[in-house]
Structure 1
Amino acid sequence: MDPVTHGLIGATASQSFADKRSFRVAAFTGLASAMLADLDVFLGSASDPLLNLELHRQFSHSIVFIPVGALIATILLWWFVKKYLTLKETYLFSLAGYATAGLTDYFTSYGVLLLWPFTDTRYSLDIISVFDPIFTLGVILFTGMAFYKRKQLFAWLALGWAALYLLFGFTQQRKAVEVARQLANQNQHEINQLIVKPTIANNWLWSIRYVAGDSLYSSGVKLLPFSEPEIFPGEQTALLNWQKEYESFRGTTLYNDIARFSELSGDVLIRHPNHEQVIGDGRYSMLPITLSPLWGIEVDTTQPNQHVEFGTYRDANEEVRERFLEMLF
């Protein structure tokens, strides 16, 4: 989730068991601890662009690392809060805040290495967008009331709001999955891999991607309460068989980097339609109906022993914005 929501949920977790004396300091401690995990965005190497992607949402978001992350937060925060909290209280509030970091990202897309170092599998529920203003506003309202009045009741209301909204997201996703299966049946496609995610900043316009045969198919669906699903037909493109296409480069840095990016992209690799040398992550695009990847790697076969370049290709021009709003509203 976005840093603000991360921090607020961490603050709420700490507030939920704080007394009036320590209530506001507990909120500050939980907020800072929850945001600490996302400092992994600064980890990486200038010579190896994919390393940053591999480390983001990795060990710092693992369940095993929670006690360690809380200890680091305690050390960093102790000098600011020691007048108000004991060392034990500081650690407990840090623990509550830090524990929310990986778990809240788990509800979004892209994936979290929750069980690192036992497995490198990225887990994600895909039931809420990384940024959802309705969700965040509810958390702000109740967490702010809790902070102002120093009452646990509002902290619990904030957690209740979060739980209800996530439950709504789960039911929306189930509906979108059913629509996806119906579309595949209509087109006589056998789904090999299904990817259903909410689009940015909302929970009623969903992106549907599925792999059938050697192709990737996209579509969008709007799911409003008490209304029939509204389906937006999308595009089709061939999956990139990178193992075959780059077989002659096996053992090189180039080949290994493509393999790494394939793993990070859930093995859904496609050519970028506007950049011939770019291999993109087919799961994400600006619009649910298009197959123009938001990010990818630029492959230079003339330098097989150099790391690939990673780039973003977000094109939020007026036409794209208008089409998104048209589908959304």
Structure 2
Amino acid sequence: MDPVTHGLLGATASQSFASRDKIRAAAFTGLASAMIADLDVLISSSADPLLNLEMHRQFSHSLVFISVGALIATVLVWWFVKSRLSFKETYLFSLAAYATAGILDACTSYGVKLLWPFVDERYALNIISVFDPLFSLVLLLTTALVFYKRQKLLSWLSWTWVVLYLLWGSGQYGRAEHIASQIAAQQNHLPVKTVIKPTIANELLWSVRYVSRNDSLYAYGVRISPFSDPVIYKGKAVRLLNWRNTYADYKGTVLYDDIQRFAKLSDGYLVRHPQLAEVIGDGRYAMLPTSVSPLWGIEIDTTSPHNHVKFETFRDAGPEVRNKFLDMLLGR
């Protein structure tokens, strides 16, 4: 989730059990503490571009790290609130706020290693976009109301909104999942695995992708409105890359190891970029739900197999892409 929304939910968590005279200090503490988990984006290496991808949403978002993360947040924040809060109070408010970070991120896509270091798996509910302005705006208004009125009971407005919105997202996911099954059945496909998630900044237009038994990835856009029938936008298809066979001759090199790391990060959804033959992308993400042109990927250079791969992003937000997205979002 974006840092602002993390901060707002953290502030809500801290405000929820603060006394009237400490609500504002608690809100500040929660706001800052909830955002600290995302400082893992600073863990990077120019020599190893995949390190940042591997470390993001890893240990700093795990359940066992909450108490440690809260302590770090307390040390950083207490100097600003020590005239209002004791160190213990600051830690408790930080603990409540920091605990929301990994859980909220797990509601989005890409995944969070909640059970690290015991389970090396990313958990993703895919029920809300990583940026949802409606969700964030209402959370901002309700959190600000608690801050202004200094009435912690009003924090139930924030929690009610959060729970109801996430439940709606869960319901939308269920509908998209049902439609995905119908699409596959109509095409006489037997999906091996499926990834379903909301597109950016909304809960109406969903991305549906599944891999059939012939190792082809199929992409669809599905608009799900509570006031009208679903609209299905048929997308493109592409073969998954059999990278183990394609790059078998490079086994034991840095190049092969990096492809293997990226395959794990992409949950096996590796595809060739349609315009860039030397780029292997994550087939789960694209600018449009109907596109199989990956949003990011790694550049392969077989002439230098002992060097790390390059990580590239391909965010084309030009007029053509925006118009296509809006047409699908509005059901046109």
Measured against the shorter chain, the TM-score band is over 0.9
Q: What residue in structure 2 maps to residue 242 of structure 1? A: 243
Deviation string for 1:226-272 (max 9, x for gaps)?
A: 32111000110000000000000001000000000000001100000
The DSSP-based 3-state class of the residue aligned with 1:197 is strand
Q: What residue in structure 2 maps to residue 9 of structure 1? A: 9
- Cα separation, 1, equivalents of 2:324 and 2:87: 53
Q: What residue in structure 2 maps to residue 51 of structure 1? A: 51
For the pair 1:113 / 2:113, whether they are aligned, the reply is: yes
- Cα separation, 1, equivalents of 2:153 and 2:204: 30
Deviation at 1:274, TM superposition (A): 1.2
- Cα separation, 2, equivalents of 1:219 and 1:92: 45
Deviation at 1:153, TM superposition (A): 2.3
For the pair 1:320 / 2:321, whether they are aligned, the reply is: yes
Deviation string for 1:290-325 (max 9, x for gaps)?
A: 101000000000000000000101111111000000
Q: What residue in structure 1 maps to residue 224 of structure 2? A: 223
Q: Which runs of 5+ in 1 are unaligned?
A: none
Q: What residue in structure 2 maps to residue 199 of structure 1? A: 199
- Cα separation, 2, equivalents of 1:226 and 1:293: 32
Q: What residue in structure 2 maps to residue 270 of structure 1? A: 271
Deviation at 1:9, TM superposition (A): 0.2
The DSSP-based 3-state class of the residue aligned with 1:119 is coil
Letter in 1 for 2:224: L
Q: What residue in structure 2 maps to residue 260 of structure 1? A: 261
The DSSP-based 3-state class of the residue aligned with 2:142 is helix
For the pair 1:84 / 2:84, whether they are aligned, the reply is: yes
For the pair 1:156 / 2:156, whether they are aligned, the reply is: yes
RMSD over aligned Cα atoms = 0.6
- Cα separation, 2, equivalents of 1:324 and 1:226: 20
Q: What residue in structure 1 maps to residue 185 of structure 2? A: 185
The DSSP-based 3-state class of the residue aligned with 1:54 is helix
Deviation at 1:154, TM superposition (A): 2.2
Deviation string for 1:178-210 (max 9, x for gaps)?
A: 000000000111110100000000001000000
Deviation string for 1:22-59 (max 9, x for gaps)?
A: 10000000010000000000001110000000000000
Counting matched residue pairs gives 329
Letter in 2 for 1:120: D
Q: Which runs of 5+ in 2 are unaligned?
A: none
For the pair 1:288 / 2:305, whether they are aligned, the reply is: no
Matches within 5 A, 1:39-78: 39-78=39-78
- Cα separation, 2, equivalents of 1:227 and 1:266: 34
Runs of 4+ in 1 over 4 A off after TM superposition: none
Identity of aligned residues (%): 62
The DSSP-based 3-state class of the residue aligned with 2:64 is coil
- Cα separation, 1, equivalents of 2:42 and 2:74: 21
Q: What residue in structure 1 maps to residue 123 of structure 2? A: 123
The DSSP-based 3-state class of the residue aligned with 1:208 is strand
- TM-score normalized by the length of structure 1: 0.99
- Cα separation, 2, equivalents of 1:319 and 1:44: 34
- Cα separation, 2, equivalents of 1:18 and 1:266: 42
Letter in 2 for 1:264: L
Deviation string for 1:105-133 (max 9, x for gaps)?
A: 00000000000001110000000000001
